[in-house]
Amino acid sequence: MELRQLLYFVTVVEEAGFTRAAERLHLAQPGLSSQIRRLERELGQSLLDRSGRSVTPTEVGRALLPHARAALAAAEGVRQVADEFGGLLRGRITVGVLSGVAAHEFDLAAVLAAFHEEHPRIEVALTEGSSDRMLAALQEGELDIALVGPAQEDPVPGVSFQVLVDEPLVAAVAPDHPLAGGTGAAAAGAGTEAAAAGAGTEAAAAGAGTGGLPLEALRGLPVISLPRGTGTRRVLERACARAGFRPRVVFEAADPRFLAQLAGRGLGVAVVPRPAESVTAGSGLLLLPFAAPVPRARIVLAWRTAGPTGPAAAALLARLRTGLATGPA
């Protein structure tokens, strides 16, 4: 058994086919297929199911997969440690990023650019996805680090968190929406969009002396929210469940700005994290804070509790932990 055969096996599984795996590995497909078959003969087991439109691991292949990844990671670790002692640092790091995370106040691109300048031999592969999927990928070893929005306050098993953003959710509505009520009238009293978007936000935040909008006020109303699988969506759904109802989500999108545009057209109540001024600026929307207990959305830096698989990932994690640290909102 050779390490390259394990690499080929893992790549075919990740790409769900020999053609894309061969392109990624810069190999001819017949040679790749031959090496996989040699590995299967040596192990005496079929590792891949080739009968469907896409190639999937067999039951044995699924059981072998984490061990193959661990062997490859260990071999890469040996190379990287040797490089470190030789004054070099190289490798490949996979980082998951929550869709829309760039809209927040920390500058992920600047941190990555500074890291690349210091470690030009390290390849950083970025991928976007939902929080649920990326947390599972961390646990499975498919990602080294991730920026996610978890629904739960405590880290999931085997994963550690550093909270970067902690914001209350607010309801964003048009000034003439029924939920605006007296708050909306007070906010829009100046008769201008600027008053509704600026002073109106603060008037809504004060709750017009009501202590905030009861979450139950959303019962039966059309709601505009982030997609399923995002931490913010799950926070909203759990909060509504505790209040005894399920939110009627009629539109969902990954971009909070689009949510605000839909709400501005009167299509529903957009539930977005605050501060949302940058999202709703110029829209004329009112931001209505929820009454206690206020549902909150978080963005966290996540990694496997056991630590990164190599020094390259450890170096990037250390840079991200200092470069993105903003503390709770």
- Lowest mean pLDDT across 59-73, 179-193, 236-250: 179-193
pLDDT at residue 13 in the model = 94
How many domains would you assign to the chain? 2
Range of the domain at 80: 1-86
Mean pLDDT, range 35-55, rounded to an integer: 92
Nearest to 217 by CA among 242, 196, 247: 247
On the question of pLDDT at 268 being above 90, the answer is yes
Domain match, 193 and 286 both: yes
CATH value at residue 80:
1.10.10.10
pLDDT at residue 71 in the model = 93
Residue 40 carries which side chain, given as an amino acid letter? E
Residue 84 makes CB contacts below 8 A (sequence gap 6+) with 311
**Peptide bond before residue 256 is cis, with ω within 30 degrees of 0:** no
Whether residue 28 is contained in a domain is answered as yes
- Domain end marker among 57, 86, 115: 86
Task: Tell me the pLDDT band of 86, cut-offs 50, 70 and 90.
Answer: low
Mean pLDDT, range 263-290, rounded to an integer: 79
Whether residue 119 is contained in a domain is answered as no
Task: Tell me the pLDDT band of 141, cut-offs 50, 70 and 90.
Answer: confident
- For the entire predicted model, the pTM comes to 0.60
On the question of pLDDT at 200 being above 70, the answer is no
More reliable by pLDDT, 149 or 183: 149
In order, the DSSP letters of 136-198 are: HHHHHTS-SEEEE--SSSSPPTTEEEEEEEEEEEEEEE-TTSTTTHHHHHHHGGG-SHHHHHT
More reliable by pLDDT, 307 or 280: 307
pLDDT at residue 277 in the model = 53
On the question of pLDDT at 199 being above 60, the answer is no
- Domain end marker among 86, 114, 146: 86
On the question of pLDDT at 91 being above 90, the answer is no
Mean pLDDT, range 306-328, rounded to an integer: 80
CATH value at residue 231:
3.40.190.10
Task: Tell me the pLDDT band of 196, cut-offs 50, 70 and 90.
Answer: very low
Report which secondary-structure segment, H or E, holds 298: strand 296-304
Whether residue 288 is contained in a domain is answered as yes
Whether residue 315 is contained in a domain is answered as no
Whether residue 260 is contained in a domain is answered as yes
pLDDT at residue 100 in the model = 63
Whole-Å CA distances, 273 to 102, 238, 305: 14, 15, 28
Domain match, 290 and 172 both: yes
pLDDT at residue 280 in the model = 58
pLDDT at residue 82 in the model = 76
pLDDT at residue 291 in the model = 92
Please calculate the CA angle 247-238-140 and round it to the nearest 5 degrees: 120
On the question of pLDDT at 133 being above 70, the answer is yes
Sign of CA dihedral 66, 70, 76, 77: positive
Whether residue 272 is contained in a domain is answered as yes
The pair of structure tokens assigned to 240 is 């509504």
CB 185, CB 133: distance < 8 Å: no
Mean pLDDT, range 154-183, rounded to an integer: 83
Mean pLDDT, range 59-74, rounded to an integer: 93
Whether residue 142 is contained in a domain is answered as no
Domain match, 280 and 190 both: yes
H helices present in the chain, as ranges: 3-15, 18-25, 29-43, 59-85, 108-118, 131-140, 181-187, 193-197, 199-206, 231-242, 256-264, 277-280, 311-323
Whether residue 1 is contained in a domain is answered as yes
Tell me the C-alpha distance between 174 and 265, whole Å. Answer: 8
